Structure 1
């Protein structure tokens, strides 16, 4: 039998539905792969072997009874350790929640279970999703399967690494400033940030509530679309959830075509700080769009140059507020509760021991930005910039159907290279942040390997809010054209672990 871990999610679902393989065989193959390689990759924080096999047996029993199976029934998925999962540890990559077992499922997790998707476990991440490299996890960094000495992106590097290393065909990530797209770019996979409110945030441990968005990670555009269709849609438990049906992303992914589409190349996303090989591969892909029948024009969005500064005032401000709940009084870590300290002292000792350096840095920055006398100068000004960025998008989408740019300015950098330079680390999300501030939809798709280092490059595609299907239409067309040129999927060029 062919290696079941190398199948796409769509192929796996078809083979399970036809009885060609069992869901248990598929789950066992992926669990064996995790056993074989994850000691080196460190994509997972927790592997739910018992739960995964129980769900797989349930899928096989349903098929045996002749019950209709969903489009991803029996397909394994890895879930970023940011989603509450009943009976399974949820740490958010932090010591402050080490060992915490949630009593309920996040809506995304519930929908996966209802669709008979097999959850393999929880993946590593930057603590509270604060980072661009997965080096800020309290449980150690994850390696990039292309080169284990390099970062797999962040904050969802565990999810991208699990998909790249064939430990799971699908994964769930979250994107606050690029944390699905940026890991996808540096690992040669597909990552999608749906329209804000298009996927429920209920049960997602909050970092920055007006920016956080869950989305799919996959090896193909179609697989990402299938997962998007499962987790998306209105949820009355989430006050920010959009009361509209999910755009037909699956049909768009099956029928990729850019003929007649107007594509805008963002002028501001190139120049100093961009790796030459990244720009080369992106420019080649833009030319490919022309060859496929798209009309390509340059678009200027001048406010995008201020997005990074605005983001690093808005996101820390919201994180300062959200993380106030970790006070040692209700759940999680508690330090100093020996009868000699006041409640305030216990809270302070717990937060000192439980939070890592990057979380502390952002909480302090956000608290300062929200403080009396500085609120209008910092947080208020950042929100005004956010409005300008949204207007730039609106003007651009008045001229074009989608925007394209590099996903990241560089390929994956070595682990530790930027550990002592927060500003250099923050620049990794330079191209992705505007979409979070505006709330529209964005995707990263592979567009080749940089000639300098042979590492993956991602092209970012951005669409208006609730036009997520355009991402899949363009992404699928590019995926097919690239694979026709390369003769194989990009991941086949990755070194074997």
Structure 2
């Protein structure tokens, strides 16, 4: 098997070969490092190359296996880590120049869990300043580009992760999500992800000097971006391993009970006043048809008010950000990010004082409404964005730009506010004037049932196909 073939394998395929001994950890890592050397200069997705450490670890894994150690579930799988999460001995810069020398004194739980499972970290991926944009650019490392073309943003804030994994740099990419930062890059690059629910994946940065705000704690989650939906079933059980440093982590198994009979899926095209683009409409219909063909019962129905939950949740988050984070943004952020935050506060007027506390309390009402609704419809199929993914720097273009990028993404941050899992999977390769562009949809699931959302993604992917093959064919003509 050649190096080119190895980097193209899904994590699930690669893990089968590495665990069986058909491919060494070193060969798997070398293939990804070669791919990174070939494509990353044009993408700037990985901003810290860890090839030296990666090759040493791969060699150690191979030696241990030869000495009789049972390989882990992710044995030799090349992965990337986002630069806003602690990795021992490396800077947790968060895309901020002032933090470029903030060296982590230890590993965050997700880094430990991936390595305990046998994964090999080959690099650290880019994020916007403070990890608070749906696009990825910063003064410290520069812009990340989308492998589909420079007319499409790579998404954010895990934009480096999404671009890297879809370009073939590593089989798994770590990211995180407070309002869509796993799902935006998945949608931008045609990748697959599931935003875990509240309490699912342990989180903490040993480098942090203070605890995050309560909404940040309750809305932000750690996860993975993959090329194949099945790779989430392979990798997420390792990611959710318990860690005592997160006292609110809930050690639930990855798989829940199989439902009795066909699974009912609530389907909605409601966009709350935003225009639904024909290609997004077609992507939704393709996903509905795929799920129906797989035996799901898909029914168009009215959902609990996503717009109210999403907008209330993001205005509450902006209230917390204004009180706890604005000073840091003003002091250490670029003029670009300061201007963007100013427009955020216009798009989502921050709640403050007693009203902020009341809106935080209202979160339980929204969560209860969804919990009751999901007794009848365990899965919910909706748009992620109402239009094809936006161009780079769209959020720097004032109120209309931020409105297009975040204002319309209520299906995204509503799920963060109420703490539900939400998966993103491509269901159509749109043919737009600028070129082909993946179009993802969102599938929400009940608490603790990320596995159900991933199963639905697999059903769609099996019938529509993954986006990596057409992407790699397009990239091959440009390299």
TM-score (norm 1): 0.85
Deviation by residue 1:288-318 (Cα, 9 ceiling, x = unmatched):
2222222122232352112443233222233
Q: Which residue number corresponds to residue 428 of structure 2?
A: 448
Q: Which residue number corresponds to residue 471 of structure 1?
A: 453
Give me the whole-angstrom Cα distance separating, in 2, the residues matched to 1:368 and 1:270: 19
Three-state SS of the structure 1 residue aligned to 2:112 is: helix
Select the residue among 338, 343, 354 that pairs with 1:357: 338
Query: 1:126 Cα shift?
Result: 1.9
Give me the whole-angstrom Cα distance separating, in 2, the residues matched to 1:17 and 1:292: 31
Three-state SS of the structure 1 residue aligned to 2:431 is: coil
Q: Which residue number corresponds to residue 90 of structure 2?
A: 88
RMSD (Å), alpha carbons: 2.9
Q: Is structure 2 residue 217 aligned with structure 1 residue 237?
A: no
The 5-angstrom pairing of residues 258-277 of structure 1 reads 260-269=262-271, 272-277=274-279
Query: 1:400 Cα shift?
Result: 0.8
Deviation by residue 1:255-293 (Cα, 9 ceiling, x = unmatched):
xx9971100013534763322101111112212222222
Give me the whole-angstrom Cα distance separating, in 1, the residues matched to 2:172 and 2:408: 24
Q: Structure 1 residues 493, 402: closer, same or farther in 2, change over 3 A?
A: same
Query: 1:108 Cα shift?
Result: 0.7
Q: Which residue number corresponds to residue 373 of structure 2?
A: 396
Select the residue among 349, 354, 357 that pairs with 1:376: 354
Query: 1:416 Cα shift?
Result: 2.8
How many pairs were matched up?
461
Q: Which residue number corresponds to residue 434 of structure 1?
A: 414
Three-state SS of the structure 2 residue aligned to 1:397 is: helix
**Contact 1:302 1:392 (C-alpha < 8 Å) held by counterparts:** yes
Deviation by residue 1:320-353 (Cα, 9 ceiling, x = unmatched):
45548969xxxxxxxxxxxxxxxxxxxx8x5467
Give me the whole-angstrom Cα distance separating, in 2, the residues matched to 1:220 and 1:386: 33
Q: Is structure 2 residue 115 aligned with structure 1 residue 124?
A: no
The 5-angstrom pairing of residues 43-58 of structure 1 reads 43-58=45-60
Q: Which residue number corresponds to residue 285 of structure 2?
A: 283
Using the TM superposition, name which of 463-472 and 357-366 deviates more.
Answer: 357-366
Query: 1:401 Cα shift?
Result: 1.6
Query: 1:72 Cα shift?
Result: 0.7
Select the residue among 10, 13, 17 that pairs with 1:11: 13
Three-state SS of the structure 2 residue aligned to 1:145 is: coil
Select the residue among 203, 212, 217 that pairs with 2:225: 217
Q: Which residue number corresponds to residue 481 of structure 1?
A: 463
Q: Structure 1 residues 392, 367: closer, same or farther in 2, change over 3 A?
A: closer
Q: Structure 1 residues 144, 64: closer, same or farther in 2, change over 3 A?
A: same
Give me the whole-angstrom Cα distance separating, in 2, the residues matched to 1:270 and 1:446: 22
**Contact 1:9 1:75 (C-alpha < 8 Å) held by counterparts:** yes
Q: Is structure 2 residue 235 aligned with structure 1 residue 227?
A: yes
TM-score (norm 2): 0.88
Give me the whole-angstrom Cα distance separating, in 2, the residues matched to 1:18 and 1:458: 34
Deviation by residue 1:36-82 (Cα, 9 ceiling, x = unmatched):
11111110121112111111111111111121001111100011111
Q: Is structure 2 residue 144 aligned with structure 1 residue 156?
A: no
Q: Which residue number corresponds to residue 334 of structure 1?
A: none
Deviation by residue 1:83-126 (Cα, 9 ceiling, x = unmatched):
11111122111122112211111011111121221001211112
Select the residue among 311, 314, 323 that pairs with 1:312: 314
Using the TM superposition, name which of 447-456 and 461-470 deviates more.
Answer: 447-456
Give me the whole-angstrom Cα distance separating, in 1, the residues matched to 2:370 and 2:269: 13
Deviation by residue 1:456-477 (Cα, 9 ceiling, x = unmatched):
0112111111111211221122
Three-state SS of the structure 2 residue aligned to 1:460 is: strand
Three-state SS of the structure 1 residue aligned to 2:150 is: coil
Q: Structure 1 residues 428, 191: closer, same or farther in 2, change over 3 A?
A: farther
Deviation by residue 1:201-248 (Cα, 9 ceiling, x = unmatched):
112865822210001111111212222111103332113212x32322
Give me the whole-angstrom Cα distance separating, in 1, the residues matched to 2:156 and 2:469: 23
Q: Which residue number corresponds to residue 190 of structure 1?
A: 192
Give me the whole-angstrom Cα distance separating, in 2, the residues matched to 1:267 and 1:363: 26
**Contact 1:268 1:305 (C-alpha < 8 Å) held by counterparts:** no
Q: Which runs of 5+ in 1 are unaligned?
A: 328-347, 484-488
Select the residue among 224, 241, 254 that pairs with 1:247: 254
Q: Structure 1 residues 306, 141: closer, same or farther in 2, change over 3 A?
A: farther
**Contact 1:258 1:294 (C-alpha < 8 Å) held by counterparts:** no
Q: Which residue number corresponds to residue 301 of structure 2?
A: 299
Q: Which runs of 5+ in 2 are unaligned?
A: none
Q: Structure 1 residues 363, 133: closer, same or farther in 2, change over 3 A?
A: closer
**Contact 2:314 2:348 (C-alpha < 8 Å) held by counterparts:** no
Q: Structure 1 residues 37, 86: closer, same or farther in 2, change over 3 A?
A: same
Give me the whole-angstrom Cα distance separating, in 1, the residues matched to 2:270 and 2:362: 16
